[in-house]
Amino acid sequence: MKKYICIILFLLLAATPLLSQSAPAIDENIPYLMTFGGNASTSWGDDDLCQIFYCLIPSSQTDPVYIRVYDPDTGGALDEPKGEYNTITNFSIYAGKGCWLDTAALVISKTGNYRNGYLSSSKSFGFDPEYDKKWYSFGPFNPSEGEYVAKLGGRVFKIIAQGISGDDGNLYKYFLSTSPVENIAVEGGNLFTYKYHLRLSDDQQHVSQIYPFVDDRTISIQVSNFDWDNDGIIRIFSVAKNGIPCDVSGDDNWIIREFPILDEEKNSTVEIQFIKNKSVQVKNNNVVITVRNQYGISLPFYVVPIGGRPVYSPKIRMK
């Protein structure tokens, strides 16, 4: 009997990470997502004033889901002012055919119709104490409204956060929930993006990480980072890479570095780790990260890493 209790406990513990469906996820250890107002300067860390995330709902989920946004306003707590707060951010949820498949988010530049699919729900937020440090819930959404993507095993909704006007930084988080009033994870659900706009911690001991998935067509990856402000180190981990350093950008520029991908790394998750500068404190550091394959197609970052975090194997690297 004891043995079975142990097995059940193990299964419960093993299942726990699958339920961390916030973006950023707890395991990523990133404080907030960020999007600046439509008139902001890119030197504040947001290269295109727009962030596109996707929610993956497994086919097993038939009950409605909600996409919840924490602190959607720009003002009060958490956010980053430039002068007076005057920023409007629009959050829009897209569903239906084309919302994932034909998206321009697959390439790094924000060209083409990245708003493909049909607009299911939309709301703009400005300086609004009603939503300061509070959750706003979009939905309910019937999972069948999402675009069916066979290779992802489920249906996809898209959420676009776009800076409309103003010049301040909006910090926020997402949660994919089965409830409109609390965060209850969708079993087997996930969130992913092709271009991660994020805020690093002010804590110099802080380490964050994100998890691009490398598919079987990839023979090399280009890791790009924007406006890193020389804040510490970026390292790459995988089954074959044990913390290889990646060059970092300074103020208001992109740095692109290429790394080969071995056969053993195909169809697996890579970890990109952000280690804060321990000698100089860089505060309010907003950065943008993309990873592209040799065709220039952006790879997805999943908040719940596919297959779990990579574990480095010295034998693979030796070969």
Query: By CB under 5 A, is residue 45 in contact with Ca ion?
Result: yes
Site for Ca ion in 214-243 (CB under 5 A): 227, 229
- Give me the least distance between CB of 277 and Ca ion, in Å please: 12
Candidate ranges 124-132, 190-198, 290-298, 311-319; the one touching Ca ion (CB under 5 A): 124-132
- H, E, C per residue of 104-171: HHHCCCCCCCCCCCEEEEEEEECCCHHHCCCEEEEEEECHHHCEEEHHHCEEEEEEEEEEEECCCEEE
Q: Report the residue number, 142 or 273, with the smaller CB distance to Ca ion.
A: 273
Centre a 10 Å sphere on the Cβ of residue 27 and count the other Cβ atoms it contains.
Answer: 17
Residue 20, sorted as left (phi over 0), alpha (psi -120 to 50) or beta, turns out to be beta
Determine contact, residues 216/310, Cβ cutoff 8 Å.
no
- Encoded tokens for 275: 């280690």
User: Which helix (H) or strand (E) covers residue 222, if one does?
Assistant: strand 220-226
- Site residues (CB under 5 A) for Ca ion, limited to 19-38: none
Q: Which of 23, 49, 57, 78 is close enough to bind Ca ion by CB under 5 A?
A: 78
For the bound state, the minimum distance from the C-beta of residue 23 to Ca ion, rounded and expressed in Å, comes to 14
Is residue 86 at the binding interface for Ca ion, with CB under 5 A as the rule?
yes
Subset of 256-285 contacting Ca ion (CB under 5 A): 285
Q: Which range, of 15-23, 74-82, 95-103, 290-298, touches Ca ion by CB under 5 A?
A: 74-82
| Count of residues near Ca ion by CB under 5 A | 20
Is residue 51 involved in binding Ca ion (CB under 5 A)? no
Task: Considering the complex, state which of residue 24 and residue 146 has its C-beta at the smaller distance from Ca ion.
Answer: 24
Between 42 and 59, name the residue whose CB sits nearer to Ca ion: 42
Give the residue with the Cβ less far from Ca ion, 39 or 179.
39
> Which x/- pattern over 143-172 shows residues binding Ca ion (rule: CB under 5 A)?
------------------------xx-xxx
| Residues 140/66, Cβ–Cβ less than 8 Å | yes
In whole angstroms, the minimum distance from the beta carbon of 81 to Ca ion comes to: 6
Select from 225, 83, 97, 238 the least CA-distant residue to 168.
83
Residues 186, 65: Cα–Cα separation, whole Å: 8
State how far the Cα of 73 lies from the Cα of 76, in Å rounded to an integer: 8
Site for Ca ion in 286-315 (CB under 5 A): 286
* Between 78 and 191, CB nearer to Ca ion: 78
Name which of 29 and 267 has its Cβ closer to Ca ion.
29
Whose Cβ is closer to Ca ion: residue 250's or residue 307's? 250
Is residue 46 involved in binding Ca ion (CB under 5 A)?
no
Q: What is d(CA 135, CA 255) in angstroms, rounded to the nearest whole number?
A: 35
Given candidates 64, 76, 140, 180, which one binds Ca ion under the rule CB under 5 A? Answer: 76
Answer for which of 27, 102, 128, 132 binds Ca ion (CB under 5 A) is: 132
Q: Report in angstroms the alpha-carbon separations of 308 from 198, 236, 252, 257.
A: 21, 15, 33, 25
CA distances (Å), origin 188, targets 16, 96, 144, 213, 296: 11, 20, 16, 17, 29
Q: Rank residues 170 and 193 by Cβ distance to Ca ion and give the closer one.
A: 170
| Smallest separation (angstroms) from Ca ion to the CB of 168 | 4
Q: How many CA atoms lie within 13 A of 132 on its CB side?
A: 12
Q: How far is CA 161 from the centre of its chain?
A: 12
Place of tokens 């295109």: 48
Residues that bind Ca ion (CB under 5 A): 45, 71, 73, 76-79, 82-83, 86, 132, 167-168, 170-172, 227, 229, 285-286
